Amino acid sequence: MLTATAGNLSGRVLVEVRDRDVDNVVVALQSGFSLSGRLVIERAVNVRPDPAVASLRVVLRTDPLLPGAATYGVAVQPDGSFAIPSGILPGDYRIQVTPILVSPTAPDATPPTVAAPLTNLYVKSIRMGDLDVLNDRLHIESQPQESISIVVGSNPGTISGRVVDESQKPAPGATIVLVHDSGLRYRVNEKTSSSDSSGRFEFSNVPPGNYKLFAFESIERGVWQDPERMRLFESRGVVSRVEEGGKVAIDVSLIGE
């Protein structure tokens, strides 16, 4: 990805380098586009302004992630409004709301810490007009005529249960992975836990949605973020759905080495 900037103008072009020089590459410079919107937090008792709003940031990053490509991010204002000024180049993007909705970290990296007042918050929807840009990409090729609407929920659910081996005995020390079974899969950090001495586990603060549970006897960290490697285990996952404020109890069979 070749990027060029000149003052407030910028542009980028994909260049494929093989066994010969690449000549006469043209990078078209432009001022880029802007994006604005509003974020609201749904609570049982709404408080305006909600103090948690100002702790969130809206981030726009390329999808797929392009090395060297700019990431656009702004803080959400106390009234819930946000605006990314001119500079967004044409392309496909994902909208993130940090620190509650972020891209997968490297397997050896520590996921971002979510402060206590934000632990029960989750992104419920992101829309631009009729477009669902939470589960789908946001395609930008001209100045957007509609604003972004982000709804953050505050009534997550819980998934708990037990890991059992082939003989239906409790399996302690297993790695349990809870992954989205939707367009968010492989796009966000997923939840992991370990079974205790009686094989039990629990995931709290789970955003409502469709999921799959996998229980591994042994697994390399971060494999669950790799579509090619997870294809080997896909049929072993247990499907589950979490409703707002719901509690799900489920048993998961151990996937051996």
Q: What is the pLDDT of residues 146-163, one digit of tens each?
A: 999 999 999 999 999 999
Whether residue 50 has pLDDT greater than 70: yes
pLDDT at 4: 85
Angle, alpha carbons 28-69-82 (nearest 5°): 100
Separation in Å, CA 102 to CA 44, 47, 67, 105: 25, 25, 17, 8
Write down the pTM of the prediction. Answer: 0.86
pLDDT at 31: 83
Overall average pLDDT of the 121-144 stretch: 93
Whether residue 230 has pLDDT greater than 90: yes
Whether residue 225 has pLDDT greater than 80: yes
The predicted-structure confidence for 54-85, as pLDDT tens digits, reads as follows 999 999 988 887 766 778 899 999 999 999 98
Confidence of residue 8 (pLDDT cuts 50, 70, 90): confident
Hey, which bits of 63-207 come out as E strands? 72-75, 81-88, 91-98, 122-128, 131-132, 138-140, 148-153, 157-164, 175-180, 191-194, 200-206
pLDDT at 108: 65
pLDDT at 68: 67
Q: Going from the N-terminus, what domains does the chain have, and what CATH number goes with each?
A: 32-153 (2.60.40), 157-255 (2.60.40.10)
Q: Higher pLDDT residue, 114 or 180? A: 180
Residues 6+ apart with CB under 8 A from 20: none
**Calpha distance 236→80 (Å, rounded):** 42
The predicted-structure confidence for 155-207, as pLDDT tens digits, reads as follows 999 999 999 999 999 999 999 999 999 989 998 889 999 999 999 999 999 99
pLDDT at 6: 86
Q: Which residues pair with 60 in a beta bridge?
A: 72, 95
Whether residue 12 has pLDDT greater than 70: yes
Overall average pLDDT of the 21-36 stretch: 91
Mean pLDDT, the chain, whole residue set: 91
Overall average pLDDT of the 219-248 stretch: 93
Overall average pLDDT of the 105-128 stretch: 84
pLDDT at 195: 96
Confidence of residue 242 (pLDDT cuts 50, 70, 90): very high
